[in-house]
Amino acid sequence: MYVAVKGGERAIDNAHAWLAEERRGDTDVAELSYAQIREQLSLAVNRVMAEGSLYDPDLAALAIKQSRGDLIEAIFLIRAYRTTLPRFGYTLPVETGEMACDRRISATFKDAPGGQVLGPTFDYTHRLLDFKLAADGEVPEAPVADPRMEATPHIAEFLQGEDIIEREPSSDAVPGDLTREPMSFPAGRAVRLQSLARGDEGFILGMAYSTQRGYARNHAFVGELRIGTVPVEIEIPELGFAVEIGEVELTECETVNQFKGSKTVPPQFTRGYGLVFGQSERKSIAMALVDRALRWEELGEDNLGAPAQDEEFVLSHADNIQATGFLEHIKLPHYVDFQSELELVRKLRHEAAELAETLAAREAAE
């Protein structure tokens, strides 16, 4: 007979115990340490830090371990933890021109001051599974050279002299903070870039790709892509000057885009900008393309109705924590709503059947 759906509490506890066991896997296989994840799965760690909006490789590694490698789940853990942290202040803007670069390439010039530095890249590797890695992860030591000590100037600066690329207007305005104010539209470029920086890599990639395939195409050259560390400084009110509190690894991408010019502006190159925590190359390039597409209005371009030009569309759907939560909530019980729909559809079907019967009877009579 009818068994009331009771015992939700015990079911939840048991499910979580099982989950913990599944996470650990076969106990005959050595357990992963979070340090192993941090060191050997560093690109996953970087993605979790970038989309979790929290720069802490240890915590990101722990989150990956706890989430069984589900990176969106790991990002969620980091976001939820981040909410509980007190906010002491804001750092000064980081100076990416002073970045200690591990990698720095430009697609627009054969060579430039600072040079083309490939760095630790997958580019030009042949994507052949390395079966040796399955047996033995030892690697020969990579050759070492002396690091360049002088700063690596931004490529765009070289074009600026001719005014052939747009100048970024400098501003001391305090940028909005999307974690402290509700999003409203138009969001403005600062909030837009914040949203893209923590947005889902797959979503931003798809949006960027759509611009390349003709949905608001704006051919982008990678003017520059650089990966490296920058110092983080914060002003201490009691001291009256800024002190360095640490450093973060960043990936920065600046694109150089075609621009025909408008009624007010002569033809000139324009820019798209991407900046992401850690080594996150794909994400930063994609971000720069989407940033550029979203700038159609300020540049006096046409709205072609492309998804990547639509600020409200892009920003409202870029966050994977919002998206996954809402998507997955449909597995929660909805039986009350379903019941009301069930009754409505039954009623409508009943009425439709009655109507059909009346019509058939009338036809037969005629």
Give the footprint of another protein on this chain (CB under 8 A).
Answer: 1-2, 4-9, 11-12, 76, 79-80, 82-84, 86, 179-185, 312, 316, 321-322, 324-329, 332-337, 339-344, 347-348, 351
CA 14 to chain centre: 34
In this structure, the chain runs to a length of: 366
Nearer to another protein, 92 or 345 (CB): 345
Minimum separation from the CB atom of position 100 to another protein (A): 32
Nearer to another protein, 33 or 179 (CB): 179
- Tell me what percent of the chain is helix, strand and coil, each rounded to the nearest 5: 45, 15, 40
- Buried residues in 43-71 as b, exposed as e (16+ CB within 10 A): ebbbbbbbbbbbbbbebbbbbbbebeeeb
Minimum separation from the CB atom of position 5 to another protein (A): 7
The gap between the terminal CA atoms of the chain, to the nearest Å, is 52
On the CB side of 174, how many CA atoms lie within 13 Å of its CA?
A: 6
Nearer to another protein, 124 or 335 (CB): 335
Minimum separation from the CB atom of position 187 to another protein (A): 11
Nearer to another protein, 76 or 273 (CB): 76
Nearer to another protein, 31 or 328 (CB): 328
Minimum separation from the CB atom of position 151 to another protein (A): 37
| Residue of 254, 251, 273, 289 whose CA lies nearest to 120 | 251
Task: Check the CA dihedral 263-224-280-191 and report its sign.
Answer: negative
Nearer to another protein, 9 or 136 (CB): 9
| Residue of 276, 172, 228, 183 whose CA lies nearest to 290 | 276
Minimum separation from the CB atom of position 176 to another protein (A): 11
SS3 257: strand
Minimum separation from the CB atom of position 88 to another protein (A): 13
Minimum separation from the CB atom of position 342 to another protein (A): 7
Nearer to another protein, 54 or 285 (CB): 54
Residues 6+ apart with CB under 8 A from 14: none
